[in-house]
């Protein structure tokens, strides 16, 4: 099992996800989206697992102020999100080709 947790700002769900894996002694790699963002290939992999729309934090202040909310072309939105990774919902928890966005221990439990 090769768990990666992509975190942006330290929000409550990110902290809960990290604690969930730590308490079960499941090894994971923590990746700070503010320092090392998702590559286009990683973005595509996660988007195919969870759905493109589910990756975007439409409730965030960053989204409300971004041009992405006015776009309808998926390629343009993807470019905007990759450029401004604070638009991505966190935490993203990835296990190979499987992924979740948000706090989903019921899915992670099946990965064991």
Neighbours of 4 (CB within 10 A): 17
| Interatomic CA distance for residues 109 and 42, integer angstroms | 23
Could you report the per-residue pLDDT of 20-68, keeping only the tens digit for each?
999 999 999 999 988 888 999 999 999 999 999 999 999 989 999 999 8
pTM flag (> 0.85): yes
Is it true that domain 3-111 has CATH number 3.40.30.10?
yes
Confidence label for 3 from pLDDT (cuts 50, 70 and 90): very high
Could you state, in order of their start, the residue ranges of all structural domains in the chain? 3-111
Could you report the per-residue pLDDT of 75-86, keeping only the tens digit for each?
999 999 999 999
């Amino acid at each position: 099992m090769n768990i990666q947790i992509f975190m942006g700002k330290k929000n409550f769900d990110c902290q809960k996800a990290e604690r969930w894996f730590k308490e079960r002694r499941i090894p994971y790699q923590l990746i700070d989206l503010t320092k090392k963002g998702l590559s286009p290939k990683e973005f595509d992999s996660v988007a195919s697992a969870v759905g493109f729309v589910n990756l975007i934090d439409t409730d965030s202040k960053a989204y409300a102020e971004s041009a992405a909310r006015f776009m309808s072309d998926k390629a343009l939105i993807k470019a905007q999100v990759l450029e401004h990774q604070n638009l991505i919902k966190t935490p993203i928890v990835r296990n190979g080709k499987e992924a979740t966005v948000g706090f989903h221990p019921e899915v992670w439990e099946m990965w064991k």
